[in-house]
Amino acid sequence: MSVSLRSWCSTIAVILTLALLMGGAATAQAKCEAERFVQSVGEAYDRAASTGSASAFASAAARYSDLRALSLFALGRYRKELPKAREAEFLKLTRDFIGETLKTHGSGFAGTSLKIIECKEAGGNLVVTARTSGGARVIFRLGRAGGGFTVRDVNMKGVWLVQQMRSTFVGTINRTGSIDGLFKYLKS
């Protein structure tokens, strides 16, 4: 093979490699159909962190999540023990708990933006991993809802919010012996 033919083949190989790499990067970026949604959630959490208010975090969570579904899931096997007449009270207390938990673990959001690192399907959810401009990793477990998305869980500083709720709620009921014990705990 002549030098010019080798040179031409090398050039074509480099071009094809670059095209594949650039196409792969574009495909990876295009795969995260929830990027705008996650950016919106991040902006809401940023505003909440800037205020330092648990109430602001609770409002942000309520806007982007189905708090009723998350709250009832957190009861685990004790879901059936929640009296219908006390459901609204439970949901309000749980919203407050979520706000306090997010305030504690989401304080690094203030003055930051999110960059999507990874976006993948897992167990019927879309899992989006992002980094704040401060370097903290945040993972969102999203479900599809009404042509868009809803946050099913969020991991900040290594803590999954809904799993933490479930562990706390079920543990409190086990320790106190009744759902009334959970109400007392949430009110304190």
Distances (CA, A) of 133 to 115, 116, 119, 138: 7, 11, 18, 11
Cα Rg of the chain, angstroms: 22
The string of pLDDT tens digits covering residues 146-168 is 889 999 999 988 889 999 999 99
23: pLDDT strictly greater than 90: no
- What is the model's pLDDT at position 184? 97
35 neighbors 92 (Cβ within 8 angstroms): no
State phi, psi for 111 to the nearest 5 degrees. Answer: 70, 30
For residue 2, the SS3 value is coil
Separation of alpha carbons 32 and 127, rounded Å: 10
First CA to last CA across the chain, in angstroms?
82
The pTM for the full model equals 0.77
Residues of the chain above pLDDT 70, percent: 81
The string of pLDDT tens digits covering residues 32-83 is 999 999 999 999 988 998 898 999 999 999 999 999 999 999 999 999 999 9
Task: Please report the beta strands in the chain, taking only residues with DSSP state E, as ranges in sequence order.
Answer: 114-122, 125-132, 137-145, 148-156, 159-160
- Position 135 confidence tier, pLDDT thresholds 50, 70, 90: confident
